[in-house]
Structure formats: structure tokens, C-alpha cells
Amino acid sequence: MRDHTFSITGSAPQQITFAATFNVAVPHIDRHLDEGRGGKDAIRTAQGSVTYAQLAENVNRGGNALAALELKHGDRVLMVMKDCPEFFYVFWGAIKAGFVPVPVNTLFRADDFRFLISDSGCAAVVYSPEYGAEVTPALDVARGRTVHAMTTDDFLKRIAAASPALAPAPASADDDCFFMYSSGSTGTPKGAMHRHRDLIYACVYHGWNNLKMNERDIVFSAAKLFFAYALIYANTATLLSGATAVLVPDRPTPDMTFDAIERFKPTLFFGVPTLYAAQLRALETRKADISSLRLCFSAGEALPAELYRRWKEKTRLTILDGIGSTEIMAIFISNHVDDLKPGTTGKPVPGYTLEIRGEDGKPVPPGESGTLWVRGKTIAKYYWNNPEKTAETIRGEWINTGDTYTADADGYYTYGGRSDDMMKVGGIWCSPFEIEAKLMEHPKVLEAAVVAHADSDKLIKPAAYVILKNAADASETLKRECLDHCKKGLAPYKYPRWIEFVPELPKTATGKIQRFKLRQQESA
């Protein structure tokens, strides 16, 4: 087998064989020139397009520009970058040149960046100019070591002067390739290190087998590229498929997404439940031409059945729900267009083995809840600079996801929330997500979050925070309606004892509800 190539045999899950020397930038970038796609658009933005030939040249120049900083093999390159072509040049240029790119949340503040610069031990930081006010002061943490910091404008000047030729750095499929920090939904971010091979498995097992991604697709992700969900589908799977990525740097509001869909005519759209809910609310007062879409996908947080139903009724489009994570990269449980059960995450993606384990660490019977463990080829090698958390969470090819799930007799998996979001009510485990989904069935409810709250007897009961479609509807009468609705559809101990109408919920940049912040508020 030629260097930097891979072969696929069999049916799902396919057997993938890698060349002994394998740098994953080659099949994602260089391969398209050999296969005649040099003139095809790889990226489209409001400012213009980037062909596969232009992408390959700028990736080479980007790798050479980083090498000119005298970085050593394996040095980390921190990326604080909006969705733009330069993101691709830095990410793939670093990988091809033998460095380790680390895309991070652009919504972080200076103290967050101080932690990331210190923890990653990065040798370079590339950032979009609009983030300079937060990134620049954070560089003081690097005193005593050299950290090359530059804006994307500076980087473009450097790549313009760099050579367009770059030989791929020697690597193997199992070597360190890049890492991403977890979203911090439950505390301090952790850096999940991934191999070169992980990007191939992620694309083949779900992007190709489930979503049928191909070179005719135009892919638009409202989720940003620093989010593992978008990095896989709007960057790596798009490129490996020979498809076209649509990049829009603006905040993903309903108007932004509808305008982008109308302008760029994507065929695949990747969003999160919060956005789909907001889009539905916007469609009550505006029209949007989304006829180019063949499929919508949702991740980041479980998709309630009621939200799926409303979207299908309004747009006639299917949303497939699935779950992935920074640590696993790919979607590992997913609904499929030919096998879909609303309100569930779907079935295991071929290539992944799942176990729902109880407190004793043993698998639970069907229908019982427990913590989800996953085994598969895309699981992170380790947490960067955190051997204790690695030993606790990653066991060979198995990982503790920290998510609570149940599986029914037909093999569909249903999300119950983060394990630390679960509450015992009357001695029985209770899932916040089940209560939230029931609340969202009420026609006046847009979103809901449920957390544990102690009553006057210090006993744990569910408390609900609710966003209404129309804030003017808030009333004690509506609270009673919501309570009655839950009492009729849930087991007696599950209904929320308190309901508070709120204008917004605390969330990560990727749309996950930060229930731990609501719990902190409850205990304050």
C-alpha cells in the first residue's frame, strides 16, 4: 500500500487498513488533486470560494509558515479562530507539517485562555482579530517560554511568503494528531487527544454509512468548527467526501441560518435542538426557502420528540438525532432515515459497542437506566496533561461517557441526562430530560431544564426552569397547566414541584444546557 493511503473492505462496520506511514492530511487534502477535484469548490463563504487546488496550496503554505517559527515535531498550535478558510489552513497545515492543532472555544474569556495556553503548553497561538482583546492579555501566562502569537491577518501574510510545496511529516495511523478541549459543561475543560486514524473512522462509520455524505453534498453547520460535532462534519467528513463546506462566522441565529441556506443551497444541515426550536419560532413570522436540504441532523443535546414532530410538520424535513462527544469525535448512536424513533437517540452506529452499566459496573437489563460506556476506534487516546482523569474515564477502547441511558427491547437508546444530572425522588432515579421533554409538549413551552431541589423537609424533588414561546403568557394559571400536563403523562413522583419562567437558560457555546449552574443557583 502506498504511503498515506487507506483501504476499506466489507460492509458496515467496514474493515479499514492504513499504510504503515500515514498522515491524515494527505487523504483529506492532497488526494483530491490526484482524483481530479482541483477545480471544485472545497469551501464557500460570503467573500468567495476556495477550490480544492487552492486549499491544498494554502495548507502547504500554512504548514511551512508554522515550521518557519522553528516549532518542533508534536508542538501544539492553539487555534482561537472563527469559521473561515484560514481555520482549514492552520488545522491541516499543522497536521501535515507534524504539529498538533488545538481548536478552542472562541467564546472563552482571558482567564479561560490563560488556562488553555498553560495547560496545552502550546508553542503558537493563531487567533482571529476580533478575539484579540481576550487572547492578548492571556499570553502573560506564557512568561519564561516562547509562544508565537499572531492574528489570522498576520498568518495570511506569512503563508503568502511561504513555499507552496510541503512533504507530509512521517506519522502512523495511531500517532497523536490533534486534540480538542471538552466544552466544560460540568467544570474545567479537558483536552482529548486523537489519532490520525480517528478522522477516517469517524467519517466512514457515520458520515458515509449513515448520512450518505458524498461529493455532491454542500454542507452547512450552524455549530462552529471549534465544536467537535462541526469539526467532523463541516470540515473533515466534508473534505474526505470531496464535498463543499459552507462557512459563516456569524452567531447562529435563525435569520443567519435561513439566509445562509437560501444563499448557498446546502444539502446537509447540522444544528442543535436549541437552534431548531428558535428556527421554528422564527418560521411563525417569516418564510424561508430551505428546499435545497435533503437532511437535517441534530446533536449536542438530545432532541425531544415534540420538537422533532413540530419541525417535520412545519418543514417536511427529517431531523436525525444522534450523540457524539469530544472524546469519541464521531456520532456513535444515531437515528437513520430508514430506522427512526423520535424521542430516542437511535441505535448504535455499526463499529461501536455499547454497554449501559449500573453502579456496580455491570451491564443492566433492558429498560433499566445506567451509565453509558462505549467502545470504538475513534475514542481519544488520553486526556492531555491529565493522567488521573484518563485512568478514571478511558479504559483501553472503552470510555465512560458520563451519560445516563436506557435501551429498549428493540435496541433504541434513550437519553436520561448527564449522570450527575440524575436525581433520586422518593428513592427512585429520575431523569431530568424525561420531564423536560414532557414540558415541551405543552404548546406554549419552547424549552425547559429540570434540576434537583430540596423541599422544606430536605427531600429531593424536581424543579423546572421554562422558556415560553411568548413571555407574555407567563402566569400562575399557565404554571398549573404545565404541572397538570406533567402529572397526566409522567409517573407520580416525576412531576416538577416548582416551575419558574425564565428568559434564557445557561448553556455552553455548543448549546448544551449547563444544569450544574442551575443547581448552584438552587443551593445559593
**CATH number of the domain encompassing residue 500:** 3.30.300.30
Mind listing the pLDDT tens digit for each residue in 328-383? 999 999 999 999 999 999 999 999 999 999 989 999 999 999 999 999 999 999 99
281 and 385 assigned to the same domain: yes
CATH code, 136: 3.40.50.980
CA distance linking residue 444 with residue 309, whole number of Å:
15
| 180 occurs within a structural domain | no
437 and 396 assigned to the same domain: no
Of residues 413 and 107, the one with the higher pLDDT is: 413
95 and 228 assigned to the same domain: no
Collapsed DSSP state (helix, strand, coil) of residue 421: helix
* Count of alpha carbons within 13 angstroms of residue 260, beta-carbon side: 27
407 and 431 assigned to the same domain: no
| 334 occurs within a structural domain | yes
408 and 437 assigned to the same domain: no
259 and 312 assigned to the same domain: yes
Question: If you search the block for the grid coordinates 515550521, which residue do you land on?
Answer: 67
* Count of alpha carbons within 13 angstroms of residue 334, beta-carbon side: 25
Mind listing the pLDDT tens digit for each residue in 233-284? 999 999 999 999 999 999 999 999 999 999 999 999 999 888 998 899 999 9
Count of domains forming the chain: 3
What confidence tier does 513 reach under pLDDT thresholds 50, 70, 90? confident
Q: Residue range 60-68: average pLDDT? A: 98
List the domain range (segments joined by +) for residue 157.
40-165
* Per-residue pLDDT, 523: 60
Distance, CA of 196 to chain centre:
18
378 and 501 assigned to the same domain: no
Give the predicted TM-score (pTM) of the model: 0.86
What confidence tier does 185 reach under pLDDT thresholds 50, 70, 90? very low
**Is 299 a residue whose pLDDT tops 60?**
yes
| 26 occurs within a structural domain | no
Q: Which residue intervals of 70-205 are DSSP H helices?
A: 85-97, 110-120, 132-138, 152-160, 196-202
Q: Where are the beta strands (DSSP E) in 191-302?
A: 191-195, 218-221, 244-246, 268-271, 295-298
CB 381 within 8 A of CB 396: no
| 107 occurs within a structural domain | yes
Q: Residue range 26-39: average pLDDT? A: 98
* Per-residue pLDDT, 61: 98
Give, for 478, the enclosing helix (H) or strand (E): helix 476-489
| 80 occurs within a structural domain | yes
281 and 302 assigned to the same domain: yes
Collapsed DSSP state (helix, strand, coil) of residue 470: coil
| 333 occurs within a structural domain | yes
Q: Using the 8-state DSSP alphabet, how is residue 68 labeled?
A: T
435 and 307 assigned to the same domain: no
Q: Using the 8-state DSSP alphabet, how is residue 20 labeled?
A: S
What are the phi and psi torsion angles at 201 (to 5°)? -60, -45
236 and 357 assigned to the same domain: yes
392 and 446 assigned to the same domain: no
